[in-house]
Amino acid sequence: MSKKEKTPVEMKKEPGKSQKLISIPGRTADEKKRKRKGSYKLYKIEGEKVTRLRPICERCGPGYFMAKHEDRFTCGHCGFTRYRQIQE
């Protein structure tokens, strides 16, 4: 059998290679659903205009987006936290 014909269960552990984690047994690697990359979550494109969906870090500057949590925004680089105002 060639590598492309193996099922994920058979690919699980091969000598000399790292172990692969398989989420759904019985599926081949080609059948996995492809997800969009992370840049689609960070930017919104309207025509020729590009807007950022998340704020940038005040300490680190442009290029460092803040993570979006339930009640706050947090920078993963420096740890800066900005709390959101709860609207009632």
**Dihedral over Cα of 47, 41, 67, 69: its sign:** positive
Asked whether residue 43 falls in the same domain as residue 84, the answer is yes
The pLDDT score that the predictor gives to residue 43 is 86
**pLDDT-derived band of residue 77, with 50, 70 and 90 as boundaries?**
very high
pLDDT tens figures, 49-59: 999 888 999 99
Asked whether residue 65 falls in the same domain as residue 77, the answer is yes
Does pLDDT of 78 surpass 70? Answer: yes
Asked whether residue 55 falls in the same domain as residue 22, the answer is no
Asked whether residue 9 falls in the same domain as residue 47, the answer is no
Domain count, the chain: 2
Supply the range of the domain harboring residue 62: 36-88
Identify the residue with better confidence: 27 or 68: 68
Asked whether residue 84 falls in the same domain as residue 45, the answer is yes
Does pLDDT of 44 surpass 70? Answer: yes
Q: What are phi and psi of 35, to 5 degrees?
A: -100, 155
> What are 81's two structure tokens?
């936290």
Asked whether residue 23 falls in the same domain as residue 48, the answer is no
